[in-house]
């Protein structure tokens, strides 16, 4: 895996999302945010997430989609159940994944974070293929950017968001991420929020 000068990953399929903009000048990327998403909810393998992130979702296609009308969101990365990796926003740009959020007193986490969506839900275990790709992606990002912390969406938007949810195995993730010779960019990364 390799990231180019604007933060495009060579092993990901790139599908450009218009839902992004410039990060504030001089902002370092300090945070990774882990999410889960599936559209329709709890249905995997369809094009709903791609349609949402590219503003092409058909509000008539599913009752739930009516609640998504006009929503302008994105994430940098989306890891499907089979490990297929899609990138929607170059890492150097600000994706719109966190919403109203706060990490250790810093608001607007989109400014300084990279968002990774796992295809899944709060009630379904994630697949081995997803963990493998997530771990390799995390290692790649941490070597490139001064990441200091990896948090769940629920950690930066408590009470409002629940993902990646109780089925995400923070222990497994942290153990496997730390197995490599990592984190050259920042020296130290903490993973999870009062979970480990």
Q: Is the dihedral of CA 37, 75, 128, 167 positive or negative?
A: negative
State how far the Cα of 1 lies from the Cα of 135, in Å rounded to an integer: 11
Say whether residue 153 binds Zn ion (CB under 5 A).
yes
Query: Is residue 119 within the footprint of Zn ion (CB under 5 A)?
Result: no
Is residue 116 within 8 A of residue 77, CB to CB? The reply is yes
* Identified catalytic residue from 22, 43, 51, 117: 117
Nearer Cβ to Zn ion (37/183): 37
Residue placing its CB nearer to Zn ion in the complex, 90 or 115: 115
Of 10-18, 50-58, 125-133, 152-160, the segment contacting Zn ion by CB under 5 A is 152-160
Of 21-29, 33-41, 45-53, 63-71, the window that binds Zn ion (rule: CB under 5 A) is 33-41
Total residues contacting Zn ion by CB under 5 A comes to: 3
Question: Per rule CB under 5 A, is residue 163 in the interface with Zn ion?
Answer: yes
Q: How many CB atoms lie within 10 A of CB 141?
A: 23
Q: Is 194 a catalytic residue?
A: no
- Is residue 147 within 8 A of residue 135, CB to CB? The reply is no
Pick between residue 119 and residue 163 the one whose CB is nearest to Zn ion: 163
3-state helix, strand, coil in the chain (%, to 5): 25, 20, 55
Alpha helices in 41-127 (DSSP H): 48-53
Task: Note the residues at the interface with Zn ion (CB under 5 A).
Answer: 35, 153, 163
Q: Which residues are catalytic?
A: 117
């Amino acid at each position: 895996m390799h990231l180019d000068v604007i933060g495009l990953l060579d092993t990901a399929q790139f599908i450009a999302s218009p839902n992004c903009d410039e990060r504030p000048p001089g902002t370092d990327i300090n945070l990774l945010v882990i999410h889960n998403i599936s559209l329709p909810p709890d249905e995997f393998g369809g094009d709903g997430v791609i349609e949402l992130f590219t503003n092409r979702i058909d509000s008539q296609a599913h009752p739930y989609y009516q609640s998504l009308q006009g929503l302008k969101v994105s994430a940098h990365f989306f890891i499907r159940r089979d490990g297929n990796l899609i990138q929607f926003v170059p890492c150097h740009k600000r994706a719109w994944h966190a919403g109203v959020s706060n990490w250790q007193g810093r608001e607007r986490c989109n400014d300084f974070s990279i968002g990774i969506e796992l295809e899944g839900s709060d009630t379904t275990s994630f697949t081995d293929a997803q963990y493998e790709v997530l771990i390799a992606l995390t290692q790649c990002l941490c070597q490139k950017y001064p990441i200091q912390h990896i948090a769940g969406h629920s950690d930066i938007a408590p009470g409002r968001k629940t993902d990646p949810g109780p089925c995400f195995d923070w222990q497994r993730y942290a153990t496997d991420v730390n197995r490599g010779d990592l984190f050259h960019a920042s020296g130290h990364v903490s993973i999870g929020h009062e979970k480990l």
